[in-house]
Structure 1
């Protein structure tokens, strides 16, 4: 293995990438516009939710509850009858329908426990999930204030001291922007490396390389370091310019430590890209394989939902995926400011998985050249 040969072959790959405007545009878009728009597009709070109120009590308390649903969280509540409620829900006119029963205020003052019915259109997942909590909190607050003001019996106030660590503003943009960059590291490294190998096949330059004094290991290493370098630099620039500069998302931990983990992850994913390109005979087949591989990697690795909420067998299987450990490491460093003493297990597993993937891909690449 000659470092000079690997270097020159890698430079050839970089020149080939620069001459491909589609791939260059994909890299720029994925680490700039896509990160910014996805972070801004994620709704941070409930916004303009449609709500209707069936006021069968028509008391000061029921009107007080109706007046407490304010913009921008809710639209102006529509006062409807009980007969209209189901029809409006079926037509999708309301996300929430609050039914205040008759004698609600008098039963509350008498010490009874009246029930308010809340109907939710659960097909609107984001609003249904967060909005139910908003409605419950608003109704509970208004009822508690009314009871304290109109009854002699006072319940002691209990104050909940909430301390939100690592994201004190509860800003979902912080999560969306960083995780989008992390997901793009996996996606682009696999795509670029696999595309580079398939492009060699389609142009017939693999045969030209084989008649030269180069080995399969040198060819594979040149693609790994060149494509990995592109994604490595794009990741660093995206975190500094887009995430920290444009979106003002704080990075708590060491960027140097994170980039070391990113380099190990890139070794594994670029090798995975070569393995997929070896299995695929053409670019369309490579695209189909990407859909079968990337979707489970992105969804089941903890980037979308916490791993703890998944079945144990899925958690165990996904430990073989490099991006599972990469995401654990990235979240610990970038969100919680963890150091090497915390993330060394993830770095260890990334190193082991990267070496296994590289050896497996090299063997497959050698067999494909025979």
Structure 2
């Protein structure tokens, strides 16, 4: 046992030297946990931010001025007064995403209960901003009109006082979610690519034959590649959480990072085993890339990071429960966002460990068969 552990350790150090000598793969690791995470967090915005707004105020009343003043940062830029004849040209040029047109006698008609029309022109080529901004504009206008009517004797109090409390992400900031999801997706991607590339690289360079004539077993070769590549990814995850997520993006992490890293290590046994399994099938790096697309992309898309598992068809969500990526996303969100402890996430840890153990056994069996065929 000690000799086998020593062999696995020294073969792993050889694997690390080989990995750090491949500048392309090292560049991919650095990019995936820095630039890719930052760009995903900041460019895939799902909230309204600094939307351009113009106003045509044909009423010039107290109510119209109050409505205009309610459109404020950070959701909307300062409203710009324009004339009615400028609406078409400015919308066509893309100068404004929203143009609010308040008709004449708007305040008088509201007080008389005539339900006057108020027009909001929206440039829907900015699709996300258009959808969110329309909802925000409707809410702002209704709130200001209700406040104004509340001062009159004819106002009727609302039947329900709705109070909304948003937990774990009070401002519904996309970066808080996307930054961690970017790290999770990178873990799956790199674990598969690095482990698979390690085996394909041995085959392409002809060094697999050298390993086979040494007094080492296929199990020792496989485990050395698993721990070496998993170590690189685990270190990169820790650096990304502290430096990129907390330091650069200023995303608060509520839970225990060491507990999360314990789950990451369990998941890496599965993901690196998938990479080795694909490496036994692929004969070149292009083939490995195609196999990665077929396996890893559906895992990431259906794991619950992009869309909730509950929103998927029943048969598909049932299948995805057998994927460790689904449990990985579940306990990552629970720990990092909600501050869950081991007493909450241990079922996901057990599921990941169990599935990873089964797939690792299958991978080792496949690896022995592939190595045996290579040696023959």
Cα contact 2:55–2:79 (8 A) shared by 1: no
**Structure 1 residues 300-347: Cα deviation after superposition (integer angstroms, max 9, x where no partner):** 211123222333333222222221110101111111111222112211
Aligned twin of 1:263: 265
Task: Provide closer, same or farther for how the CA distance between residues 243 and 49 of structure 1 changes in structure 2, counting only shifts above 3 A.
Answer: closer
The answer to whether the 8 Å contact 1:38/1:176 transfers is: yes
Q: 1:317 to 1:78 in 2, by over 3 A?
A: farther
- Residue 113 of structure 2: SS of its match in structure 1? coil
2:91 & 2:367 partners in 1: Cα distance? 58
For the residues of structure 1 that align with 2:334 and 2:51, how far apart are their CA atoms?
35
Which residue number corresponds to residue 319 of structure 1? Answer: 321
What stretches of structure 1 of length at least 5 have no aligned partner? none
Indicate the RMSD between aligned Cα atoms, in angstroms.
Answer: 2.8
Closer, same or farther in 2 for the Cα pair 1:77/1:137, shift >3 Å? farther
Specify the alignment match of 2:132 in structure 1: 130
- Which 10-residue stretch deviates more, 52-61 or 266-275? 52-61
Shift of 1:68: 3.9
**Contact between 1:174 and 1:249, CA under 8 Å: does it hold in 2?**
yes
The residue aligned with 1:153 is: 154
Contact 1:52/1:80 (8 A) holds in 2: no
Q: Which runs of 4+ in 1 moved over 6 A?
A: none
Which of these residues, 277, 287, 294, is aligned with residue 279 of structure 2?
277
Cα distance change on mapping 1:335 and 1:98 into 2, 3 Å: same
Q: Which residue of 1 aligns with 2:48?
A: 46
Aligned twin of 1:334: 336
Please give the TM-score of this superposition, normalised by the length of structure 2: 0.86
Question: Is the CA contact 1:51–1:78 (under 8 Å) kept in the aligned structure 2?
Answer: no
Q: 2:308 aligns with which of 306, 309, 323?
A: 306
Match in the other structure for 2:234: 232
C-alpha change, 1:165 and 1:66, in structure 2 (3 Å) is: closer
Matched, 1:205 2:207: yes
Distance 1:78 1:314 in 2: 52
1:74 aligns with 2:84: no
Out of 15, 18, 23, the residue aligned to residue 17 of structure 2 is 15
Q: Is the 8 A contact 2:46 2:128 kept in 1?
A: no
Aligned residues: 368
Task: Write the mapping of 1:67-146 to structure 2, written as runs, cut at 5 A.
Answer: 67-72=69-74, 73-74=76-77, 76-77=79-80, 79=82, 81=84, 92-100=94-102, 103-146=105-148
Deviation digits for residues 57-83 of structure 1 (CA, Å, limit 9, x no counterpart): 6655345434543455135346454x8
Q: Is the 8 A contact 1:49 1:75 kept in 2?
A: no
What is the CA deviation profile of residues 106-136 of structure 1, one whole-angstrom value per residue up to 9, with x for unaligned ones?
Answer: 3322223334344434442321232122201
Structure-2 residue corresponding to 1:242: 244
CA contact (8 A) 2:40 2:179 kept: yes
Q: For 2:169 and 2:344, how far apart are their aligned partners in 1?
A: 20
Residue aligned with 1:156, SS = coil
Provide the secondary structure at the position in 2 that maps to 1:320: coil
